[in-house]
Amino acid sequence: MNAESNVEAIEKFLREARTPKGESPLQDPQVNAVIDRVWASQRYPEDGGPRANPSCDPADYADYGFSIFPAQGDLIYLLCRAMRATRVVEFATSVGLSTLYFAAAMRDNGGGTVIGSELVPSKVLTARRNIDEAGLSRYVDIREGDGRQTLKDLGGPVDFALFDGWPLGSGPSLARQVIEIVAPQIRIGGFLMNDNGEPDYMEFIRDPSNGFLSVKLPIKGGTELSVKIS
């Protein structure tokens, strides 16, 4: 399969991966309309994206979302509602697809804050437009910059954390570096989700001495869901 055919196959898969209408636990028409639009706009770069080019500049892919799948968003929304979450964090925000699910849960729980971190300024602007269009801006705090700096102080115990960061060419992954910053701020009983399965992140989250229980879910090729127990 040539590069062009591979990209077409990926984009076809992305189009078909949307949760069928009416089956998502998130039933707000205004929010779902934005989710549908953002999801429909997902494209994949012909050069293989950041995973194929881990030493690239994130700004090189400013026009690509690289977002979670709707099935992951549905799970985020459902778990946040179940645990009555009021403070959640995501690394990284990208164009705000995951933020929409988190913010809808905060609103439907009666209030709360989504703390996001995004390095690329144009993506911050796009995410804020999407969130504003969904009517959820009052629940979102997007911090522009390096998550290793912007997420040092989350203002209190965190109920849920999403790690969906940029790959690196060498050294510890960003997911590993950021979880070491965020983990002490997650409350007992709080959830974590990892989208990319970075080996050193998995090593951390599955080490019993770090205080988590974890399971790999069959979503998007493998989504790690963890809970803090100590």
- CATH number for 210: 3.40.50.150
* Distance separating alpha carbons of residues 2 and 139, to the nearest angstrom: 44
pLDDT at 49: 87
Torsional class of 227: left (φ above 0), alpha (ψ -120 to 50), beta (otherwise):
beta
Q: What is the pTM of this model?
A: 0.92
pLDDT at 21: 62
pLDDT at 198: 94
In 51-185, the DSSP E strands lie at: 87-91, 113-118, 140-144, 158-163
Residues near 184 by beta carbon (within 8 Å), at least 6 away in sequence: none
pLDDT at 4: 52
pLDDT at 66: 87
Lowest mean pLDDT among 55-59, 150-154, 188-192, 200-204: 55-59
Lowest mean pLDDT among 48-57, 65-74, 135-144, 148-157: 48-57
State the pLDDT confidence band at 20, using cuts at 50, 70 and 90.
low
Three-class secondary structure of residue 161 per DSSP: strand
Identify the domain containing residue 132 by its residue range.
Answer: 1-230
143, β-bridge pairs = 117
* Average pLDDT for 190-195: 97
Domain count, the chain: 1
The tens digit of pLDDT for each residue in 175-188 reads 999 999 999 999 99
Q: In what order do the strands lie in the sheet with 140-144?
A: 140-144, 113-118, 87-91, 158-163, 186-194, 223-228, 212-217
Average pLDDT, the chain: 92
